[in-house]
Amino acid sequence: MKRVSALLVSTLFLIITIFAPTLFLGCGDQEEILSGGNNRESKQIEFVTPLKAESYVAVANQFNLKTDEINFQIGEFSGGYTLKSGDLRKELLSIKSTFIENMSNALKFNSEKDSSELRQNIQTALNVASQGQMFFLNATVRGSAEALLEMNQKGIATTMPDKKVIQSSNPMAAPQSSSHETWAPYKGTTTVTRNYLYNTFFFDNKAGFDSASTYESETHLYKQYANYGGFWSSNLPRAYKDTQLLDSAGLDNFTVGCLQASSIQPYKEYFAYMALTPETNIRSELWIKGQIGYRYPSWLYSLWNVFPLATTKPGMYKGTAPMAGGVCWGY
């Protein structure tokens, strides 16, 4: 092999390091591990058929699952919700009102865009939500190994690949263009308050995306300005909320991404919305950036195997938060 991926080697090393003790301990405690016992590890599961709230509650009760986070689909919009430790049924039903409340924030912004397609789509999604047409696609749950296996066997849900995925080298070079990158949005809007952030953007060129490409809409804010408020939504293809694991000391990077950038349509208005909870800093610098990445392996659609390739200039938008209203930007 011409080039040996150092990251591949290191990740293998990490996995061996983490799991070796478990394997060795297995000699003495094999019975307990095999039986599942009280071992309730956190797993991501994907429902074979999208479930409605009542159906999911029944499944969670039947298999004794504790739900940490759940992702939903309303019309063409997807999103995620972090559950508090309350009544599951009540919380799932409250997602509808959370969606309506947050998307109404998006509608409030920029009244001159009344006729925009996105605005109409949001209105449609609000109608769909109020009719209760909300489906759950996948969830992060804690349950016994047997329960997860049984769900798989009964065709209810499949366990998504483990987070510790092997990855390696760069399959493509970061594309560039003379004006703006061939994968970056050319215009958009941004509004960041103390309670939410809402970015919309249009692409005019997607030549830089191939079948394994991913795209992320990033919002950089000072630490202590806000935390993730437990709700996000987007109409990007195969949208996801990126983890803020070990974000650096200086800033928070609130990111909604797209696992299948090749499906992005030119001149369609996309949005990324995230609820925020205010922190101690009342003001922050704000940067809006885009990032192209790639999935490795390309057949796996998970945020854990998305690797960055290039970011745009911060010139997409640079300002301060909170904002009194939204701003339009061109890039």
Partner 1 sequence: MKNFLNKQIILSKKIILLIILVIVLITIVAIMIPRLKSNGLENLTGNEKIFGESALLDAYVMLDNPIQRLTTFKIKVKQVVKQESDERCDIGFMEQFMVTGDYSAVVDAYTFFGIRYASVNVYCDGSTTVNYF
What is the contact surface with partner 1 in residues (CB under 8 A)?
Answer: 3, 5-7, 9-11, 13-14, 16-17, 20-21, 24-25, 27-28, 163-165, 167-170, 173-174, 220, 242-243, 245-248, 250-251, 253, 255, 285, 287, 289, 291, 293, 303-315
CA dihedral 203, 276, 258, 119 (to 10 degrees): -50
* 42 beta partners: 142
Q: How far is the CB of 255 from partner 1 (least distance, A)?
A: 7
What residues contact 158, with CB distance under 8 A and at least 6 apart? Answer: 45, 46, 48, 152
CB-based contact 44:138 (threshold 8 Å): yes
Nearer to partner 1, 179 or 243 (CB): 243
Nearer to partner 1, 24 or 299 (CB): 24
| CA separation, residue 185 to residues 87, 106, 179, 202, 232 (Å) | 41, 19, 12, 5, 20
Q: How far is the CB of 131 from partner 1 (least distance, A)?
A: 37
Nearer to partner 1, 64 or 298 (CB): 298
Per the structure block, which two tokens stand in for 72? 């939903």
Kindly report the number of other CB atoms within 10 A of residue 222's CB atom: 17
Q: How far is the CB of 313 from partner 1 (least distance, A)?
A: 4
Nearer to partner 1, 86 or 250 (CB): 250
Strands 135-142 and 42-51: antiparallel
CB-based contact 199:276 (threshold 8 Å): no
Q: How far is the CB of 108 from partner 1 (least distance, A)?
A: 28
What residues contact 327, with CB distance under 8 A and at least 6 apart? Answer: 189, 190, 191, 317, 319
Q: How far is the CB of 304 from partner 1 (least distance, A)?
A: 6
Nearer to partner 1, 98 or 255 (CB): 255
Q: How far is the CB of 293 from partner 1 (least distance, A)?
A: 8
Nearer to partner 1, 159 or 311 (CB): 311
